[in-house]
Chain A
Amino acid sequence: NAGVTQTPKFRVLKTGQSMTLLCAQDMNHEYMYWYRQDPGMGLRLIHYSVGEGTTAKGEVPDGYNVSRLKKQNFLLGLESAAPSQTSVYFCASSYSPASGSVDIQYFGAGTRLSVL
């Protein structure tokens, strides 16, 4: 039972480079999320998805794009990385409210990204 798996675990980019972070969940969850975690600022929502083929902006969406082509996968893209995007990125997933389950979010182990 893998839960939520994030790849890669670590990455170093140069300013202007692009990359994609992959999140995969095996719990058949409807909702998926991308957060960034910065020192002293807790977790801030970047984008989220309430189902396959849907995405929506969170609190800090600028500079990021996402796609949810398959229910189990949620991709986070950085088109032109900037030093301000140096952070730890977490993916999470949860059941939908319609399932009757409280919206407990299950987190992956994180991706540590440095942009030089």
Chain B
Amino acid sequence: GENVEQHPSTLSVQEGDSAVIKCTYSDSASNYFPWYKQELGKGPQLIIDIRSNVGEKKDQRIAVTLNKTAKHFSLHITETQPEDSAVYFCAATLYSSASKIIFGSGTRLSIRP
């Protein structure tokens, strides 16, 4: 079955700097890679996703890149702000097989003022 590894487990960056979180997956059949953000006391919320037919996707200050050959994908946050502090989860699944989604172990991102 699918296995998703996520690094680092904790990350602290200066406000305004960039943050990068990396994930690797094991099942080459996976073709959909969402990223979720979990703020303290709340449930995870989708922030960006990418399908395997795309190498990169951007949405304002966040971007996700995918390397299908190496089976890894990354989340990039530029110009970090205090509200970016949260736990971020990557995930991998077959598109339209949401029941098979496998989550990474999470990265706790802290933004230093």
Contacts and interface: CB of A to CB of B under 8 A. Distances in A.
Contact of A42 (B46, B97, B106): B106
Interface in B70-113: 89, 93, 95-99, 101, 103-106
B44 A97 contact: no
B46 A104 contact: yes
A42 B91 CA distance: 10
Contact of B44 (A40, A43, A45): A43
B98 A94 contact: yes
A79 interface: no
Interface string B1-18: 000101001000000000
Contacts of B103: 42-44
Contact of B99 (A40, A42, A56, A110): A56
A31 B98 contact: yes
A4 B89 CA distance: 19
A4 B103 CA distance: 20
A97 to B, nearest CB: 4
Contacts of B106: 40, 42
Q: Give the interface size bracket for B toward A.
A: 20 to 34
Contacts of B42: 109-110
Contacts of B105: 40-42
A45 B101 contact: yes
B43 A103 contact: no
A45 to B, nearest CB: 7
Nearest to A9: B41
Given A31-B98, A45-B99, 11 more contacts: A31-B99, A41-B105, A44-B103, A102-B95, A103-B32, A104-B34, A104-B49, A107-B43, A107-B44, A109-B43, A110-B42
Give the top 7 A-B pairs by smallest Cβ distance, nearest first.
A107-B43, A103-B98, A97-B96, A42-B103, A43-B103, A42-B105, A48-B99
Interface of B: 4, 6, 9, 32, 34, 36, 41-46, 49, 89, 93, 95-99, 101, 103-106
Interface of A: 4, 31, 33, 40-45, 48, 50, 56, 58, 90, 92, 94, 97, 102-105, 107-110
